[in-house]
Structure formats: C-alpha cells, structure tokens
Amino acid sequence: MTNSWRAIARQARDRIVEADPEEVPYILSLWYLRLSSLARMRLFNQTAAECTNLFAVLNAVEPPATRAYVLGCVLPFELDVLHARLKYWAGDHVGYLDALAALLRRCKHKARAASASASSRARAHPDPAAAGMWAERGSRVSLIIASQLVEMRDFAAAAKVLEPLCTPASAALRSAVARVYLQGGYVAMAATHFAAVAADPGADAAQKGTNAALFASAEGDWPRAEAELRRVLAADPECFGAVNNLAVALLNQGKLQEAIQVLEDAFRASPAAIASAEPFLFNLSTLYELRSSAGADKKRDLLVEVAKWAGDGLRTTCLKLPTT
C-alpha cells in the first residue's frame, strides 16, 4: 500500500467524467472513492465543497419518487456518513453527533422494517440479509459516535453507547469499552471488563496481554506492563501497537535509550506500516527531544525516511519540527 490518495482521487474524477450517466450506482461509488481520498489528504474544504454540491444535485432530482429511490436505495451508505462528517470538519461537533444520531435512527428503523413480517400483499417472510446489513451499519455508526464522544472526553457516554454492542464473542469490543473506562478514570469498571475478556477462552492471547499491560500501566506498575508487552511481541513481532506501548512503559521506567531503540527497530522492520502511524512518529520525535538538545537533527533524518514511505496525507506536525 503506497497511500497515493492524490492519484486515486484524480483517477476517480476521470472515471466519473467518462462514465455512462445511466450507471448511477457506479458513479456514486466513484464519488465516495474521490471524496474519501480527498479527506485522507486532509483537503477538508475541497471535500466539503464537492460533497455539498453532490448532495445538492441529488436533492434536486425530480420527480420526488425518483429522488427518494436514489437517496434511499442507490446512494452508498458511506456517502451518507461522509456527508454527516462535514459538520465535524466545520467544527460543529455537537451537530456532527446529531447527524450521526439521525443515521443511527435510520439504521434501526430499516433493520426493524426488514425483520418484520410483510403484509399479505407483499413478501410472506422477513428479509434477514437486509436486517443484518442494517444492524451492522447501525453498529458501525455507534462506534463512530463513541469515538466522537471519547474525543469530546465524555467517556461515560461513550461507554454507554458501546456496552449494548458487547456480546460474549466480542472480546475486542469489550476491551475497547474497558479502555474507555480506563481513560475516564473508572478503574473498577475497566477491571470488570478486562476480567471478562481474560476469562473468555475464545479471546486472542495478544488481546489479553495488551489488556493486562494497559491495566498495569493505569496502576503505575510499569515493570509488569513491560513484561506483558514483551510476551505479546514474542508471539507477534509485528504488533506495532504493543511496540508503541512498550516504548511508553520503558520511558516511564527511565529507560529512554531502550525506548528509542525499540521504536527505531520497528521502523526499520516495517517502514511502510510505521510511516503512516502518526502517534508512533510523534512518540519517537518526543523521545529524540528528551534524549538531547540535538534532537532536531534526528527528527530531520526521520522526516527524510518517512517521506520515502508515507505517501499522501501525513501530517508533518507529528514530527514536531520547527516551522521557522
């Protein structure tokens, strides 16, 4: 993966221009590809302008029955989600939540309608495939809502949104709920969810180890966190989230040079994956600053290496380079 979003956006535009006007589903899927590529490059003003114009055209389709069919049955659901995100880019976070809540209500309504038995003049059986599709879409929107609530630091509300989605088989989701509680300082609730995952025989061992490390970090037991993360990496050396967490655990024990070495080794092992992980680059740049006053030279060298692999859309501010 080269992260060449500019080339994808340009190709999608060319395909839209060349497409048969009657192929509406195909054209709308290309629009989603173009708009999401522009957003990945953080060209939010251009994305908002093009998305607004697209929906203005769609909302002007006549007759109304055709417009309702296009918006309800042909328009990709991902474009609806992207259109809602325009409020986020405009800085209206509460409005963004309102738009997502409207999408969630729509998903629930569609799922119930697909599950209900049809009338005597329609189908005699419900449509489980459609019901499952809309239920999955509703779950995805719930995850986006929870992510936004975490960004707004309303951790209790985020956990309340996520908890109904937890099932006995959803160890990853239950772990996410525990981490939200941990961020909000609700250690007892986090411990309850972490214990449920630890007792689940079907949960991934790496997931259990990461959970144990995070809980140890919250308790200030950094040596135990380090030991858990090293066990995770022994089983899966390419678990870069664990690599990043291990560097944090080492730093909190005063092992600055070892933390830098861990991150640099991971970058050399898989530069394409690491170069697009901004938190990883931010942490490495911070460690360079802490090591010596010559950290700027190391960060410039890091910039050169990242430029070879990152592609379009990387925020260079994550490297903490001076602007002058």
User: What pLDDT, on a 0 to 100 scale, did the predictor assign at position 224?
Assistant: 95
Segments in the chain forming alpha helices (H): 5-18, 24-40, 44-58, 64-69, 77-89, 93-115, 128-151, 155-162, 171-183, 187-198, 205-218, 222-235, 240-251, 256-269, 271-274, 278-291, 295-309
Residue 137 has pLDDT above 90, yes or no: yes
Longest CA–CA separation in the chain, Å: 78
What's the whole-number mean pLDDT along residues 105-118? Answer: 82
* Residue in this structure with the two tokens 């135990």, named with its chain if needed: 224
Task: Quick: pLDDT tens for 208-231.
Answer: 999 999 999 999 999 999 999 999
Task: Quick: pLDDT tens for 91-104.
Answer: 999 999 999 999 99
Average pLDDT, the chain: 89
Instruction: Indicate the pLDDT class of residue 275, thresholds 50, 70 and 90.
Output: confident
User: What pLDDT, on a 0 to 100 scale, did the predictor assign at position 318?
Assistant: 86
